[in-house]
Amino acid sequence: MPPLTRVAEEPAAARVERLVLEYAQSVPPERPLAPSLLLHDDLAIESLSLLSLTLRLGDELGVDVVVSGLELGEVKTFGDLVQVAQGLIEKSPSRRPEP
């Protein structure tokens, strides 16, 4: 399945949760993950891992996160990361109207 097709099929929170679970060193048993979970303190995701996770999220969505001007310093919680994903989805090529 092409990556752009998956954008519409997988909700932002589910997409972020899937990626977070791959990068987290500490994973709580509850699903879905609570928006208030701190990426660093609760999930043990370090800065470089967050950068990698965000770049991968952008790749899946077909969005260059570097060009988008995303400020990762403000991303502290799982909920923050879901909001980032929702913003990236809005910038996704698959969401742009056909010419």
The pLDDT of residue 59 is: 93
pLDDT at 5 exceeding the cut of 50: no
Kindly report, residue by residue over 36-58, the tens digit of the pLDDT: 999 999 999 999 999 999 999 99
Render pLDDT for 9-32 as a digit per residue (tens, 0 to 9): 789 899 999 999 999 999 999 999
Domain count, the chain: 1
**pLDDT of amino acid 28:** 93
The pLDDT value given to residue 94: 65
Q: Does the pLDDT value for residue 93 go beyond 80?
A: no
C-alpha Rg value of the chain to the nearest Å: 13
Q: How far is CA 14 from CA 67, 69, 92, 97, in A?
A: 24, 23, 17, 24
Q: Which domain CATH number covers 78?
A: 1.10.1200
Enclosing domain of residue 51: 3-95
Phi and psi torsions of 38, nearest 5°: -80, 130
